[in-house]
Amino acid sequence: MTNDFLKAFGLTIRDQIIMKNSVEIKGLGTFKAEHTSQQQERKGDGKLVMLPPKDSIEFKADMEE
């Protein structure tokens, strides 16, 4: 296992997530892109804030273990 492999590992998953694809890695789990649309949020001090849309990466582990 080399650094190049680890870099490529991260890059590949990232690219697929950006393309809204979910990546399944056997023995580890599934990476999935989640989109959060813009939403209002009331903060603790009472301020109402409109949050911008956001993409996030979700990981669901394989339950084989």
CA distance 55 to 33: 7
Q: Which stretches of the chain bind another protein, using CB under 8 A?
A: 1-2, 4-29, 31, 33, 38, 40-42, 45-59, 61, 63, 65
One-letter identity of residue 28: L
Quote the least distance from Cβ 16 to another protein, whole Å: 5
Q: What angle do CA 30, 22, 38 make, to 5 degrees?
A: 110
Quote the least distance from Cβ 33 to another protein, whole Å: 7
